[in-house]
Structures are given as C-alpha cells and as structure tokens.
Structure 1
Amino acid sequence: MAPGRHVTLDTMVDTLKAAAESSRLRILALLSRGDLTVSDLTDILNQSQPRVSRHLKLLLDAGLIGRYQEGSWAFFRLSDADAAREFVNGVVSRIDDRDPQVARDFERLALVKRRRQERAAEYFSANAASWDEIRSLHVPDGAVEAALKKVVGRRPFQAMLDLGTGTGRLLELFSPLYRRGVGIDMSREMLAVARANLDRAGVANAQVRHGDIYAPPVERDAFDLVTIHQVLHYLDDPQQAIREAAKLLRPGGRLVIVDFAPHGLEFLRDEHAHQRLGFSDRQIAEWFEEAGLDLEESQDFEPRGGAEAKLTVKLWLGRDRRMLIADPAANALPEKETV
C-alpha cells in the first residue's frame, strides 16, 4: 500500500486480497502486538515454514508489513507507512479477541514472549554478581561514562530514572546532580546488587524498584533525565520501550541511550540472550521521532583491544520537544528546575 492516506482503486483491491485470508489476517493480528520471526510465527500458527513464508511474501508485496535482518534472523513487523498501518489497525481492531483461533494465537504469542523473557531473566540471574565484569569484555566503560557525564553536564536537576538499572552504576554516576533517582529492573538479583552498590557508594538520594521497562511503576511527565544503558538489545520490542520512556520525561527532558551499533556476533544471541544485534542511527532516529523526541546527538565508541573486541558502542541523546514548541527560550529555565 502506498505511504499516502489515499490509494488507487487497484491498490486497494490488491491490499484487500492480501489481507483477506485467515492465516494472513492472523499474522497481521500477531504483528500488531510486536515484531516476530518466521520461527515465532510457525510455532504460533502451527504451520510449516514454507507456508508461513509464502503468506509473509504476499503481505510484504502488498506493503502491509516490513522485514528487517539482524544477523541470521529476519524480523517482521507492521509497515511504517501511515496508510498501511491505519488499514491493518482498522481491520485487526474489529476482530474479536475471544474468537477461539485468535485466542489460541495470542496464548501462543504470550508463550513465545515469555520464553524470551525467561532466557534474559535466567542470564541476568546467573550473572548478577559479575555483570559489570562481563559487560567490560565488550564495552569501554570508562570512555562511555566520560561521554555520558559530558552529555548530561554539571547542572543539577530534579529527577532521574534509569530503566534496566542493572548494577545501579548510572544512578551512582549521576547522584551528585539529581535530587531524586529511581532505578527499575526486572531481575531481583540485579536489584540486590544495585542496592548493595548504592549503599557502598553512600548514595542516599536514589532507590531501585522491581518493574517492567514497558510499564515502569513511576509517574509520567516527571523526569528530567531517563537513561537506558545496554538494555535495548535484550528487549523483544525496543521501540515500545523508547515510546514508554518518552512518556516519563518532563517537557524538555532528555533520554540517553547507550547500546551497540549493528553487528554480526551471533554468539551474543545464543550465549547471552541478546534479542537484537545492535541498532543503527536511522532506526533510533525513527523511533525517537515517533516518540516525540528530537535526536540531538549520536556518538560512536570504536572497539579496543584487538580482534576480541568487535563491538562498537553507541550513545544517542534525545530531547522531548514539547518545551521547544511551547517556548523557544525554555533552555533558560532556572537552575535545578531542568537539565
């Protein structure tokens, strides 16, 4: 389907033909709830890989879905085109979730996502005490932390939220700047490590909580700085995480993400529960745009240490644009009111 809101009669007929088949309609309903691989879809639909691939090709040709490659895995998602997404959402929203076939599909989808989450949780639980050491094998922490401090600056601000806080390192790093810090993590083992680290560092203005990064147990429009450090590549739906993080920012607040550039190290997926093999500037910029953020800065940290260090670390800075629209001079707010 064309990216505009109006299409020709022939295009609409082709679009309707592509969607008007039960398996393809089921695929659209599933993709409306997140990106999936061919393997995921074959498990959920209980159909052969060739058959599922044929359905996906027809939907791709009709412009209703998109495909992107990450290493040896291909992910499918709803099209980013407005007309196509509006069409699919309009159709899917009219399907009764209580329909026996649809209900079974969503139950199997929940199982697929649960397995992903369990793999990540098991990895974190097994490595909670040594996570900083494991991360140091792939990330030049000192260089990244220096860049983070420079990007955030020295000006005090009210509140910081660290999503997927892990060992609590970023809460410790920025504790001299914020009045209130909150860290969220799904792993209770990691939260125990973070609490111990914050206590050891004498950080009394921060707390960590158990919670889901997709639905953080904090108030919206409340944080001057939100950070997501080396977390996105573990997530089933990183775009949704960015979307939810943006909702937590005060007008003019900043979202800082640190993660990997695109790479092909499949062992990270197999041995360390990585769901995504890095992110491009274009992908992050598109997700920021959709979430109402302006991408203000992107930095690269090339690998060091020879052949064994093959990951490039990226830092992205996004800013909530509401303040800029309402008041171009908003950057001159009094000290301690915003970053």
Structure 2
Amino acid sequence: MNFGIDKLVELLKAVGEPTRFRLLMLLSAGDLTVTDLTEILGQSQPRISRHLKLLGEAGLIERYQEGAWAYFRLTQDGDAAALIQTLLASTKSDDAVLNRDGERLAAVKRNRAERAQSYFSRNASEWDELRRLHVDDDLVESALLKLVGGEGADSMLDLGTGTGRILQLLSDTYRRGVGIDASRDMLSVARANLDKAGVLKASVRQGDILNLPLDGNEFDLVVIHQVLHFLVHPELALNEAARMLKPGGRLVVIDLAPHSLDYLREEHAHERLGFSHSMMSEWLSRANFSVEKIVDVEPREPSAKALTVTMWLARHEAAVVDLNAKLPRLVGSN
C-alpha cells in the first residue's frame, strides 16, 4: 500500500467513525441493502444512507442497483481495499458491539435464506423435471472441474448464475467472482446459497447477459452454464462474454447437445434444441475465441429422453470484438 498523506488522512477520516466502521465490518461478510443495514444497526435509513455515501465517495464501498433495490459491497481491488482489510482484521474477536452486529447479520441472512427456500420450493417440481432430462449434476460438475483444471483466475464471471451453484463449485479457482441473472427471485436463492456455503468472495447482481452492467476487459474466466438454449440469438451472449474477458481469458460454455424434445419449447421456454460441436465452434470463432477442448458428458443410462451435456473450453484471442458480429444475420441477406 502506498498513499500520499492527504489521501491517507481522507481514508482514515472516512473509516474513523463508529457507525461507518461497523458498516464496513458488516459489508465484509457480503452484499447488503440499506434496509438490511438499518435493521442490523437500529439506526434511521437517512443516517445509514449518509454514512454509505461518505464511504462511497472515499472509494471504500461500491453500490449497484437491482431493480428497485440498491446493494452495497466493499471495494474489492486497490490499495484502499487492502487498507480496509488490514483495519478490519485488527479488531478484537470479543468486541461486544461487533459481535452483536454479527448476530443480527446472521438473523438477516436466515430470513433471506427462508425467503429463497420458499421460492425454490414453489418451483421445485419444474426444477426436478428439467434436471431429470439430462446427465446427472455430479457428472457435469466433475467434468467441469477437470476441464477448468489448475489454471486459476483472478476474477470470474458466471452468466445466468441461477442458484449460484457454479460460483460455489469453482470458488477455489477464482479470487473474485460475480454472478449475473435476470431474475431477482433466483438471485435471492443464489445469495442464500453463497451465504450458506460461506463463499464471501462472490457477489451476484441483476442484469441482462446480452447487455451486461459491467466494464469490459476485466475477467479471466467466464462461465455460461445451461443458458444459451433459452436465447433466440445465443451468439450475442458469446460476444458479450468476449467483451468481458481480458486477452487470453477463458470461456466455458455448458449446454445441451442436439436433441428432439420439442415440447421443451412450449413448456419450458427453450428456444434452441441443443447445440452441435460445429455450430458452437463457428460462433466462438466469430467472437475471436479459439476452441481448446470439447467434452460430451453422456447420461449413465441413455434413453430417448436422456440428454447429453456438452462443454466447450475456449480462449479469447483479442481484446476487441468485431461489433458487426453482434448483429444477427437475417435469413436471405447477403
């Protein structure tokens, strides 16, 4: 860490107030809303918002929007983030105020988990039916871990994160993880699952995977798991993934192999009935990826309704994607 005296004094002033320090300690355990923080600290919303504004202006926390809700989290990178981690680690483990805050935080997370479980239970029958269609999850996850291998990632992006399972599964691979999903209900499930698993280095937020609310060129690894078959133009998601990756970064696509279960279109909103090796490889090539490996994971007991899952591992060859490739080609056009 290297600070000029003015900057260091500014940071210490921002931290050096009891409520603001307590806020930083709470946010070190995961993303929280103003409502969450108000409930935990027992202070008014305007007061909490004012403290959060000061911490944000000092560059110590980040704010992002999810529908009508605003979430806050600690800044993850840079000298200011390192300073905060050092200060937080210097607190006594038996501090009564911080321990009481921790107990209230645990209660907030329990309520969050109960709401998420309620949503998941209401939709359990649909989830179970879809999962029975393709290869067992344990086979897919084992193959994914093997495919990603020992090459670590400073930052990972999970597009269409759903329940947050991929962020949990690959948590030993990355230093910082971000999950994006369009459904606030699914994000509630993901947050509860990440809390339960103790994965504090990953956060999730709402967004359109075809128009991501993130700066480009900032991730080493992007995963798109069982998402592309819901899209009319899956190739656009690949282009957006390319925009997110640093040069040399890796993309893993996990999706269904070609199949003939047409009822999935009407009953489960599938736009595509799987993807062939050649089709996906062509799209990846157009988005400036080089395909390094393709893996087919077949069901233990093949049948007419047992679907194979395919994985593509590709590496981004350039920092800039041809924007013309983002435009879907119309049938019959030149």
Alignment of 1:172-191 (within 5 A): 172-191=168-187
Aligned match for 2:166, one of 143, 166, 170: 170
Are 1:259 and 2:255 an aligned pair?
A: yes
Deviations along 1:110-133, one digit per CA (max 9) or x if unpaired, are: xxxxxxxxxxxxxx9996556753
* Residue 133 of structure 2, aligned match among 138, 146, 164: 138
- Residue 226 of structure 1: which of 205, 222, 225 is its match? 222
Matching residue's letter, 1:277: L
Q: Is the 8 A contact 1:129 1:193 kept in 2?
A: no
Could you tell me which runs of 5 or more consecutive residues in structure 2 were left unpaired when the two chains were aligned: 1-118, 320-334
Alignment: residue pair count: 200
What is the root-mean-square deviation in Å for CA atoms of aligned residues? 2.1
1:301 to 297, 301, 312: 297
1:183-222 alignment, distance < 5 Å: 183-222=179-218
Q: What is the aligned partner in structure 2 of residue 93 from structure 1?
A: none
Contact 2:215 2:244 in 1 (8 A): yes
Aligned to 1:238: 234
How far apart in 1 are the matches of 2:152 and 2:126?
29
One-letter amino acid matched to 1:202: G
- The equivalent of 1:250 in structure 2 is 246
Q: 2 CA distance for matches of 1:152 and 1:279?
A: 21
Distance of 1:181 and 1:223 partners within structure 2: 9
Give the TM-score of the pair, scaled to structure 1: 0.56
1:268 aligns to 2:257 (yes or no): no
Tell me the percent identity.
Answer: 52
Which of structure 1's runs of 4+ aligned residues deviate more than 6 A?
124-127
> How far did residue 270 of structure 1 move?
1.5
* CA distance in 2 between partners of 1:294 and 1:217 (Å): 26
Distance, in Å, in 2 between the alignment partners of 1:134 and 1:204 is 31
Q: Hey, what's the Cα distance between the residues in 1 that align with 2:207 and 2:122?
A: 19
Q: Deviations over 1:134-163 (max 9, x none)?
A: 442123211111111111113432100000
Query: Secondary structure of the residue that 1:317 maps to in structure 2?
Result: strand
Q: In 1, distance between residues paired with 2:137 and 2:251?
A: 19
Q: CA deviation at 1:305?
A: 3.2
How far apart are 1:217 and its partner, in Å?
1.2
Partner of 2:274: 278
How much does 1:306 deviate? 4.7
Q: Which residue of 1 aligns with 2:97?
A: none
- Mapped to 1, the partners of 2:235 and 2:208 lie a distance apart of 15
Equivalent-residue separation in structure 2 for 1:126 and 1:239 (angstroms)? 33
Asked if 1 retains the 8 angstrom alpha-carbon contact of 2:258 and 2:275, the reply is: yes
1:1-339 mapped onto 2 (5 Å cutoff): 133-139=128-134, 140-307=136-303, 309-322=305-318
